Amino acid sequence: PCTNGGTNQWTTTNNVHVINGVEQSSAQTLDACRQKCLTISGCNAIDYNDNAVGVKCWTFVNLQNAQLVPETGVVHETLERCVLTTTASSGVSWITTNDTHVVDGIPQTKPQTLTECRSLCQQNTDCDSIDYKADGNPVKCWIFLNSLSQTLVPEQGVVHEKIVRASSK
């Protein structure tokens, strides 16, 4: 519901963990563990143990009503992803994910505002999403055409938007 101004919200519970997380050996800090979760579709929770040797981070996809098991030193965090939906008068909706982007977009040098970037995408029926970075220089807008799968990558200040076109009846 994005009640906190449009950013992802982490809720922390100390000294508990959940069984059967996916090991993320590359994430060696709490922040790296959070960032790893943000790149995994459906990831909504992590366990992090700074005192562990080797693996310190575990991620969970679509975790619901999990049984929390006491364990000293472990931080369990749940993620509420912020996804905003806006509908323009044209009948087109945009699903917005803040502070993320997708790699390999097609750079567009002309659009300078989010509205211009959206408009460019709307005019191209193959365009299914955009990335917009207000302080990008010289490129602020990237479009994606017929994207089958898009992996969201955390990046501060970038807005990723997926277009939802009104169905023609």
What does the domain layout of the chain look like in residue ranges? 9-80, 83-164
Is the per-residue pLDDT at 169 higher than 50? no
Query: 56 pLDDT exceeds 70?
Result: yes
Specify which residues 46 forms β-bridges with. 59, 77
Spelled out in words, what is the top-level CATH class assigned to the domain 9-80?
alpha beta
Which band of pLDDT confidence, cut at 50, 70 and 90, is reported for residue 121? very high
DSSP E strand boundaries for 18-105:
22-23, 43-49, 57-61, 69-80, 83-87, 93-102
User: Quick check: helix, strand or coil at residue 149?
Assistant: coil
The answer, yes or no, to whether the previous bond of 111 is cis (omega within 30 of 0) is: no
Task: Tell the residue number behind the tokens 């009503």, with chain if given.
Answer: 65
Give Cα separations from 72 to 27, 57, 127 (angstroms).
20, 15, 49
pLDDT band at 155; cut points 50, 70, 90: confident
Instruction: Write out pLDDT tens, residues 79-101.
Output: 987 766 555 556 788 888 878 88
CATH number of this structure's domain 83-164, picked from the four choices 3.50.4.10, 3.40.50.11890, 3.40.50.150, 3.40.50.300:
3.50.4.10
Backbone phi, then psi, for 123, in 5-degree steps?
A: -75, -20
d(CA 81, CA 51) in angstroms, rounded, equals 27
32-41, 94-103, 115-124, 144-153: which is most confident: 115-124
